[in-house]
Structures are given as C-alpha cells and as structure tokens.
Amino acid sequence: MRLILVGPPGAGKGTQAAILSEKLGVPHISTGDLFRANIGEGTPLGLEAKSYIDAGNLVPDDVTVRMVESRLQDEDAKDGFLLDGFPRTVPQADELKRILSGLGLEADGVVQFDVSEDVVVDRMLARGRADDTEDVIRNRMRVYETETAPLLDYYAGSIVTVQAEGSVEEINERALEGINGLK
C-alpha cells in the first residue's frame, strides 16, 4: 500500500508508522527522520535543514522534495510505503503527485491522525527532542494550521480519520481498520 500520514506535530504518526510499517510490510519514510539522519551525518542537506528545523519552520519545499524523490526511487519503496511528514504543504502534494505519476503510481489514501492540541503539547514536552521546546512547538503547531491543514481539503475523498487519543495499541487498531476501509 502507498499511504500518506497526516496530523499535527506530536500526533503520534511516527510511532504508528513504525508499527504499521511492520504489519503492512512497507517501508516507513519519515522526512523528519531523514533530516535528522542528515544532520547527524553533517551532510550539506543536513546543514541546510538544521536552522529551519531548530526554529520549527518548514525546510524549503525544493530541498524536501528532492530528498523524498530520491528516497521513493529506492528499491524497497517499489511496492509500497508509508509517508510520514510528507507532503506538508499543498505544493509538496502537487510534487508528490508528479513524482508518483512519473513512476506510474498513485497513493492509495491518506490517514489523518486527529488529536487535541493539549494532548500533542504534553506528548512533545515528554518526548524532549531538541526541537521540542515550548516556543518551537507552538510555532510548529501554527505552521501545521497554516501550511499543512489545507491538505485535508486537498485530499478530501481519499482520507480516513483516526481518532489518535488513547493507547498506542488502541490507536493502531483504529488506524488498521481505517486503512482496511481504503482498500
């Protein structure tokens, strides 16, 4: 399956994607993880992305799209993938459509993780990642509302919404049910 996961920062997409990836047998492609790996290795892409990420802003679309385009061409993504954190803007969604159609493919659907703002702030503060300070979290939430939430209209018709409060297992069950409904 080729799935796109959407939800505010702290919605638990990464946690769910890791489990779903095992269960569905497709790779978990997280742009946040790819950026953090590049930062860790000190690559030029990592150096470019770091200042944006530290401030809770989006990395520019061209940089992000190039990184995803290259990752989607890897052998393991041929038969499916879970995209976590991409697309995050409408222009990125247009680019994804272009990339996939170039490969003769299209996404099977979008899984939206729906969670209240209080819960996500608590989860992120507990996680304690470098970009999880209160100011940066607040900025990421604002960026989500303005840049990413419009994707819910963009993908209307191919979205399943998963209520993402509760235990990891409960949410995973709901996600799998939703995904089964897409087939």
Q: Which residues bind ligand ADP (CB under 6 A)?
A: 9-10, 31-32, 35, 52-53, 56-59, 64, 85-86, 88, 92, 140
Give the nearest distance from C-beta 5 to ligand ADP in angstroms.
10
Strand positions, DSSP E, 43-158: 81-84, 109-114
Residue nearest to ligand ADP (CB): 32
Residue with smaller CB distance to ligand ADP, 36 or 180 = 36
Q: At what angle do helices 31-41 and 44-55 cross, to 10 degrees?
A: 120
Q: Output the smallest distance, CB 140 to ligand ADP, in A.
A: 5
Choice between 64 and 172, CB closer to ligand ADP: 64
Query: Is the dihedral angle over the CA atoms 131, 133, 139, 143 positive or is it negative?
Result: positive
CB of 103 to ligand ADP, least distance (A): 19
Residues 6+ apart with CB under 8 A from 38: 45, 46, 49, 67
